[in-house]
Amino acid sequence: MSAVVKLANVHKSFGPLKVLDGVSFEVGRGEVVALIGQSGSGKSTALRCINALETIEEGAIEVCGHAIHSPALDKRALRLSVGIVFQSYNLFPHLTALQNIMLAPTCVKGIKRGQARDLAMDCLTRVGLAEKAEHYPEQLSGGQQQRVAIARSLAMQPQVMLFDEVTSALDPQLTSEVLRVMEDLARGGMTMILVTHEMGFARRVAGTVIYMRQGRVWETLAGRDLDNPRTPELRDFVGSGL
């Protein structure tokens, strides 16, 4: 399995606060990796560094052939390869679900509107929302808005998808809607890195779980082994129900 994401000895600080302290891991093509850990452990920062939303101070990151640490990085080209979905949906309120999804393919990739519309409808179908194409964000539930946000990223046909706590603002029923979509993507072979607090989801879907603590990769294990941690810190974390 060839690695499409590689982090090697990555360091990142915000002022005097060390957030990433020598983080290294790889993600193979078609693999699903879950980053777990307590708040402030560096999970979301690692994800943002992978998409060059944050700059690193030391180390190297390579994503889909792009050297993230290089001053010559073409961020536009990178973001054609990597999609990211955040906790907040960030949909344009004056555009329908369909129009929100069509926007980037037409404006960024130059796809003709008819083709972009077909692509957007296909993505809405993949997330189970084809019937909501002409609805505006305010007419959709939180779970539906998050699924539209996922469809919007899928429309750019990325090689890698990043998910940053995408269900943390949703109630359990809406969370289940979104997680089902992510499970379908995983079964379809999408390379995914997700920051999550959903331990059951990580067990089922993630080939690899990375437990981060104090800005470091503390323990790496298969998702199916999450109930049998090797370190006492991960044992306490999983046992706490967080």
pLDDT at 87: 84
| SS3 (DSSP) at 126 | helix
Q: Tell me: the pLDDT tens digits for 190-238? A: 999 999 998 999 999 999 999 999 999 999 999 999 999 999 999 999 9
pTM, 2 dp: 0.92
d(Cα 35, Cα 195) in Å, to the nearest integer? 5
The torsion defined by the Cα of 91, 93, 94 and 98, in degrees rounded to 10, comes to: 40
Measured distance CA(203)–CA(190) in Å, rounded:
17
Check: CB of residue 212 under 8 Å from CB of residue 195: no
At residue 241, the pLDDT reads 56
pLDDT for the residue 147: 94
Q: Which stretches in the chain have pLDDT values below 50?
A: 242
Domain boundaries, the chain: 3-94+160-239
Q: How many Å apart are CA 201 and CA 185, to the nearest integer?
A: 13
Per-residue pLDDT at 1: 60
10 neighbors 46 (Cβ within 8 angstroms): yes
The letter for the amino acid at 185 is: L
Give the span between the Cα atoms of 204 and 102, in whole angstroms. 32
CATH architecture of the domain formed by 3-94+160-239: 3-Layer(aba) Sandwich (3.40)
Rounded to whole angstroms, how far apart are CA atoms 11 and 7?
10
Please report the pLDDT score of residue 242 as a whole number.
Answer: 46
Say how many Å lie between the first and final Cα of the chain, rounded: 31
Tell me if 162 sits within 8 A of 51, measured CB to CB.
yes
